[in-house]
Structure 1
C-alpha cells in the first residue's frame, strides 16, 4: 500500500463542548446517530465527540481539504476490539476514490483538555 495522504487535527475539548452547548442542533449536523451514541445509548461525552470531530477534519486534510464534503459521509466507528475505524460514503468516498484511496488508518486520543486524531489514507502502489 502507498500513502495517498495524511491528516492530523487537534480540538480544544472545552471550547468544542461550549460550541455544542450554544447550538444544540450542531451535534446532529456533525455526527451520525451511531457516532453520538455511547455505552448504554447515552450521548458520548464531549471529549469523545471532539476526537471524532478531529478525525473528520483529519480525513479532509488527508484528502487535500476539498470543499463540498458532507460531515455524515465520514463516520467514525468503533470495532469490537475498541479500535477506531472509518466508514466513508457519498461525497467523501467520491473524493477518496478520485485520489486512489482504498483504505484508512485512524488513531484518536484525548487528554489534558485536548483531543487529537491522525489519519493515513492508503491506496494501491502505482
Structure 2
C-alpha cells in the first residue's frame, strides 16, 4: 500500500450558510441524497454540512486532480455506527479511483465555532 496524496481544506461555516440561503439547490448540487438524509438526521446543522463540504475539497486534493474531472456529488461522505466518516465514490470519480488503483480514501473532519476543516489521505495498491 502507498499513499497517493494527502489533502486538507478549511472553510468558514458562514460561507456554507450563505450559499444555502442564496441557492435553494446548493445542497442537491453538492451532496448526495444519502448525505442530505444524514444532515436532516442531525437537524441540518450548518457545521456538519460545512464539514462534509471541506471533506469533499480535501478528498479532491488527495486524489491529485482537484474538482476537475468529476462532480462534488461523485463523492459521498457518510458516517459509520460510531460517527467515523466513510467515503464512497461514484461516476467519474469511481473510474478515476479504479485507474489510480485506489484502495481507500480516509478522511477526518472537525469544526469549531467559525470554521470546518477536513483532511484526507488516498491509499493505493501500488
TM-score scaled by structure 2? Answer: 0.90
Matched residue of 1:8: which SS? strand
What CA distance in whole angstroms lies between the structure 2 residues aligned with 1:36 and 1:85?
15
List gaps (5 residues or longer) in structure 1. Answer: none
What CA distance in whole angstroms lies between the structure 2 residues aligned with 1:9 and 1:18?
18
What does 1:61-72 align with in structure 2 at a 5 Å threshold? 61-64=61-64, 65=66, 67-72=68-73
Matched residue of 2:102: which SS? coil
In structure 2, the partner of 1:93 is 94
Aligned length: 125
What CA distance in whole angstroms lies between the structure 2 residues aligned with 1:100 and 1:92?
12
Task: State the Cα distance separating 1:102 from its structure 2 match.
Answer: 1.2
Cα RMSD after superposing both structures: 1.7
Q: Deviations over 1:40-82 (max 9, x none)?
A: 7465211101110111111111111251202221100110111
What CA distance in whole angstroms lies between the structure 2 residues aligned with 1:10 and 1:66?
16
What CA distance in whole angstroms lies between the structure 1 residues aligned with 2:27 and 2:107?
21
Matched residue of 2:83: which SS? coil
4+ residue segments displaced more than 3 Å = 38-43
List gaps (5 residues or longer) in structure 2. Answer: none
Whether the aligned pair in 2 keeps the contact of 1:37 and 1:43 (CA below 8 Å) is: no
What does 1:40-51 align with in structure 2 at a 5 Å threshold? 41=41, 44-51=44-51
What CA distance in whole angstroms lies between the structure 1 residues aligned with 2:113 and 2:107?
20
Task: State the Cα distance separating 1:5 from its structure 2 match.
Answer: 1.2
